[in-house]
Amino acid sequence: MNHPPDTVRAVEWRGSALRLLDQRLLPRHQEFLELDRPAAVAAAIRDMVVRGAPAIGVAAAYAVVLAARRAWQRSPAGWRGEMERDLELLAAARPTAVNLCWALKRMEAVADRAEGDPGGVLLEEARRIHAEDVDANRRMGELGAALIEERCAVLTHCNTGSLATGGFGTALGVIRTAYAAGRIGHVYAGETRPWLQGARLTAWELVQDGIPVTLLADGAAAWLMRQGGIGWVVVGADRIAANGDVANKIGTYSTAVSARHHGVKFMVVAPTSTIDPLTPDGSSIPIEQRPGRELLELGGEPVAAQGAAAWNPSFDVTPASLIDAIVTERGVVLNPATRGVAELIAEG
């Protein structure tokens, strides 16, 4: 199948450093950071330079390469123990995105088998993780687009494109593929407060690729569905529990509730690395609490009354009962409330 192009790459390995597109500055500025220390990558993950569960996993994999190289230089005999502190920093950077720990565990397994200088074999594994993510995204694009049987408009929330992955995108990969096939006529993107990933990132990506996009305030999604014409809500995920409950960017749950009320189909698109078989259901998913200033300030300027408090969870949990389809690179689960995701886990 001929895939539509995606013009953005947010995570790249350049020689001896990791190159990250600083997503905090988009869409006004396109600035890349070159990081050669694992602690700097951990800070970049924590501070939202790079975000999106798959992209975080890819960045973490390359950070392990940096950690191993530094550890080998300090102590060729004890390099494995030397890198533990760096691994702990990386693991703690974003607790909800399961791809982070998944990538670290996979890289650690390679490190445990390494003989001599580990830099080469670890870089090879990180590049493999990166390439696998892009391939998985393209496969998910095909599978998800096939579910959109009649031409319609779609609604998406947060950013799930090339910026959030190794390339092409999860939910946005489905949208790209379906648009190229003539199954999507228009995309509506929620602004995604407080970091405005929809306004700054998703709208920017779609404009780059020539896909018509209309931005809306998060609170307008239900009223948009009431007008008719929205066939699907297509979103990504940061963690999927074994029963099919999904943690995603805050605002996803309310969008799912509105979709069910208005008869709009709801699709979650994520690689199997996002599935956490050790988490039985959504109540067990840790939800990251972000600093209150993200709500109380805008561009460093206060927007709330002095003395007001803020509750700022970065994610919410959408129960499987509100999801019509979970799309992964290994296949599609329809009505996950009755089936869970066990079969996809078993295939691994």
Residues with catalytic function: 238
Distance of alpha carbon 13 from its chain centroid, rounded? 19
Task: List, in sequence order, every residue forming a beta bridge with 19; answer none if it has no partner.
Answer: 12, 34
Q: How far apart are CA 74 and CA 45, in angstroms?
A: 25
Strand pairing report for 17-21 and 32-35 = antiparallel
Torsion of CA 244, 247, 250, 252, to 10 degrees: -20
The three-state secondary structure class of 188 is: strand
Helices (H), ranges, the chain? 38-46, 53-74, 79-82, 84-91, 98-113, 119-147, 171-180, 197, 203-208, 221-227, 252-262, 293-296, 336-339, 342-347
Lateral strand order in the sheet of 246-249: 275-276, 239-241, 246-249, 315-318
Using CB atoms within 10 Å of the CB of residue 187, give its burial: 0 to 12 exposed, 13 to 18 middle, 19+ buried: buried
Is 50:56 a contact under the CB 8 Å cutoff? Answer: yes
For tokens 């996950």, name the residue: 336
Using CB atoms within 10 Å of the CB of residue 328, give its burial: 0 to 12 exposed, 13 to 18 middle, 19+ buried: buried
Distance of alpha carbon 81 from its chain centroid, rounded? 30
